[in-house]
């Protein structure tokens, strides 16, 4: 499975840890973030990652900034993206089960390395339920996107 990862300067070290971990687990990881600790604007990395997920270049995305919030907001501006901020494994599981999220976001200043690994594992190992009520809600979100993105 091919996974995209994006980060800002606050999350460079955690991004590197997660990349190394995922590669050790056999995933192919594409780095869309910065490798520097110098100030870097998270919307740039978020848009690049979200476009890669939306186009199918990568199957899922991981987005990390200081809190996870800013980068998730930026990811969600791309049509077809359902990015979620998670700081617990229950949220990581339910966002896949119920929302069919395609990008997980978390904060390098909020979660530690081991929790971040658990969040990623839970997210990647959980499948969407395809229950009618959940699909109906995702379809409603898609309808909102389609109305917003009319030319």
Catalytic residues: 65, 98
- 137 contacts: CB under 8 Å, gap ≥ 6: 98, 99
Tokens 């990568």 found at: 58
Six-digit token string for 91: 């949220």
How many angstroms separate the CA atoms of 120 and 123, rounded? Answer: 5
- 99 contacts: CB under 8 Å, gap ≥ 6: 82, 84, 134, 137, 138
Closest CA to 49 of 34, 27, 38: 34
Residue 86 DSSP symbol: -
Strands (E), 91-140: 103-107
């Amino acid at each position: 499975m091919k996974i995209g990862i994006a980060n800002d300067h606050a999350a460079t070290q955690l991004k590197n840890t997660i990349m190394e971990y995922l590669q050790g687990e056999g995933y192919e990881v594409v780095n869309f973030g910065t490798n520097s600790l110098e100030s870097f604007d998270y919307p740039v990395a978020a848009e690049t990652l979200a476009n890669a997920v939306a186009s199918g270049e990568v199957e899922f995305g991981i987005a990390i900034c200081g809190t996870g919030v800013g980068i998730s907001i930026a990811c969600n501006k791309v049509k077809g993206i359902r990015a979620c901020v998670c700081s617990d494994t229950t949220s990581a599981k339910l966002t896949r089960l119920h929302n069919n999220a395609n990008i997980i976001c978390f904060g390098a200043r909020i979660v530690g390395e081991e929790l971040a690994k658990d969040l990623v594992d839970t997210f990647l190992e959980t499948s969407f339920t395809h229950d009618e009520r959940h699909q109906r809600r995702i379809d409603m979100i898609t309808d909102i996107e389609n109305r917003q993105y009319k030319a």
